[in-house]
Structure 1
């Protein structure tokens, strides 16, 4: 017996490509289950059933691998059942087709926009297309067609940490401060620097007593705007990547935010920014509010900002929503798991990394694992 941390990055691992930008997070495919074989009524011969189509969620698979597997062929096809013959009265059933997909993939039927499945149970087969029944007495010995439709697969990232904030709050700069060795983090002094989700590994080794090699994955999402939950500014495309995160880091520009100088874009101070981000998260999915959320009050290096951050930090530890007008108050105010004042530009992030590690350890505590643990294996036909 031995003690081992349940480190997803090392064992069940949410494997990612370090410093990878998510260029595409959707894939459209044609799905066709096998049709049943024809029966032979004269001899009461039975046609074979058509093969089914299954998906199997895998923790160690990325959406990039899935895209690569369907780069040339966008069809998922199961085998047809064999027809009955005088030589073989019982036709052979068509082979099933099993496709491995990244954990968290969602599948939508394109014509009806109906949710087919959410692939959230690792290694569990999910039936998405049923093969047709073979010809028999009940159907006049005529083989039935299998399911056929067009499907869109949507990837949702599963990071340990999800960064959320308004444009130009300093999310990418903060990520660079957390992972200074990374070179592919784009930083610029204007909004919407980040236009696509990006995953980065943040090393935590210096915080480990035994200097264990360990990291947490972090997703830097494009900046939200008011109305993101209603998909303004493609908000759904970004907020969906928080659904499977362990925790959320809310980054707020302590000096306030205004999208543009237009009269339609209202200036929001730090407290109002927190409230609006809270409202966007709860409007999209109330489950996001229940996740551990750390508030980062950024840009304390600006004149007078440190004092504002200290005051807002104290306020955010209590009933911060009482200071807001009724129309800005969220229905489910966030109770922050931690509040940190930072100057990401100067790489001054205080105890942020330690707080994130503590939250992770609380979510995934130490467990005893047996050396002779048994793991089930399954035989699957992979078409990637």
Structure 2
């Protein structure tokens, strides 16, 4: 089964919490703070595996979570870092953020790895908060939360040559004749429902990958037929072999078919439409083809295309076509980007979350945000020094100023997560 897109959820590990601990041993009744730091949460990492050729595994497993970091321990012992979650994907997988639609990474190199979600940092133990005036810090920092994302995976085949054309023009037959691939072949439209790959061996040490891609029809750029599924896979090819049926047995014009397909490519992406094309006029074994072929060849060569008359069924002309394709490939760059103005693909990170947001709900000032959640989680409400540290942190970050700007009065209620406070100046 060929699966070329999937939606999954990934969650990096949370950082472990710092430890509140004090050194205790015989003859030392009141040692200093020795709480260890929490371990870092595991990352979610994508890795290219050349042995995979579909995304079918993600049909059955859609949630991936890395291991959290362990909490710190006494005697300055740091918690263990969480294990990374390594997700293996096929070569040619594009990873997008579902919420923003932004491309995070395009995995186009064998063995390529990329961190998609980073684990949270471990919290600091109370040993870090000792000062000359605060020698018994009874609080520590909690670990950061690991990143989480809903992702869209799209697989775009990586092939040197793409066989382009209407359904049932003989693309699968060509693939079966020039390579060891065994695609399903029958005399009806859309026989090919998934891309097929084959390796064409020209001579020792000289070969290329050719893809028989599902047939394209008018309206494909809008998703008609196999539309976008087809176009997604043709994007990566360096060279297109445009196959047309010149026999006329189905009552269609070879020139009109050629123009229709190229019009669909132009509407989908102008860079894709400008990809080099070689034209293969197929079904030359049918008696009516010769006359049609001559008119077709004259028209297309007048536009600057190289045209080969072939018969995939009888293997006529295929050797000459493949040798010519190989020669052209040797002159093309290794990578042709879909958009030549684009810089090299990098992982994009969305803007950081705001440290806090304040809203008024039934007269209560509700303070929310990742930073607020973290600092509250690090506070020991039963310890005076810890509460003072918490209050200073709120003021330094601008929470107090923001509350006053919103008109908070003495005695008003402030809610941070599930904890409520009475506001005092």
- Checking the alignment, whether the CA contact within 8 Å between 2:248 and 2:288 is kept in structure 1 is no
Partners of 2:38 and 2:183 lie apart in 1 by 58
Partner SS for 2:242: strand
Partner SS for 1:345: coil
Q: Does 1:36 align with 2:15?
A: yes
Q: Does 1:233 align with 2:225?
A: yes
1:343 is matched with: 311
Q: Give the drift of 1:147.
A: 1.6
Note the 1:126-137 alignment, pairs <5 A.
126-136=114-124
- Checking the alignment, whether the CA contact within 8 Å between 1:173 and 1:344 is kept in structure 2 is yes
CA pair 295-195 structure 1, distance change in 2 beyond 3 A: same
Partners of 1:38 and 1:75 lie apart in 2 by 24
Does 1 or 2 have the higher relative contact order (CA < 8 Å, sep 6+)? Answer: 1
- Checking the alignment, whether the CA contact within 8 Å between 1:309 and 1:341 is kept in structure 2 is yes
Q: Give the drift of 1:249.
A: 0.9
Partners of 2:176 and 2:184 lie apart in 1 by 9
- Checking the alignment, whether the CA contact within 8 Å between 2:213 and 2:234 is kept in structure 1 is no
2:91 is matched with: 103
Partners of 1:196 and 1:121 lie apart in 2 by 23
1:157 is matched with: 157
The structure that has the greater radius of gyration is 2
Partner SS for 2:105: strand
Which residue, 51, 58, 62 being the options, matches 1:61?
A: 51
Superimposed CA distance per residue, residues 287-319 of structure 1 (whole angstroms, 9 cap, x where no aligned partner): 323433211112233344212212221221233
CA pair 101-185 structure 1, distance change in 2 beyond 3 A: closer
Partner SS for 1:56: strand
- Checking the alignment, whether the CA contact within 8 Å between 2:2 and 2:56 is kept in structure 1 is no
Note the 1:1-384 alignment, pairs <5 A.
23-40=2-19, 43=33, 45-58=36-49, 60-64=50-54, 67=56, 74-110=62-98, 113-136=101-124, 141-179=141-179, 184-205=182-203, 212=204, 214-255=206-247, 269-319=253-303, 336=305, 338-349=306-317, 351-363=320-332
Partners of 2:214 and 2:60 lie apart in 1 by 30
Q: Give the drift of 1:146.
A: 0.9
- Checking the alignment, whether the CA contact within 8 Å between 1:292 and 1:359 is kept in structure 2 is no
Superimposed CA distance per residue, residues 151-204 of structure 1 (whole angstroms, 9 cap, x where no aligned partner): 34222211222111111212122223324x65x333222211212211223332
- Stretches of structure 1 that go unaligned for 5 or more consecutive residues are 1-21, 206-211, 259-266, 320-334, 366-384
- Checking the alignment, whether the CA contact within 8 Å between 1:200 and 1:217 is kept in structure 2 is yes
Partners of 1:257 and 1:80 lie apart in 2 by 65
1:8 is matched with: none
Partners of 2:299 and 2:273 lie apart in 1 by 19
Partners of 2:324 and 2:282 lie apart in 1 by 16
- Checking the alignment, whether the CA contact within 8 Å between 1:25 and 1:154 is kept in structure 2 is yes
Partners of 1:121 and 1:199 lie apart in 2 by 18
Q: TM-score, normalised by structure 2?
A: 0.64
Partners of 1:104 and 1:223 lie apart in 2 by 21
1:3 is matched with: none
Partner SS for 2:38: coil
Partners of 1:72 and 1:194 lie apart in 2 by 25
- Stretches of structure 2 that go unaligned for 5 or more consecutive residues are 22-32, 130-138, 335-425
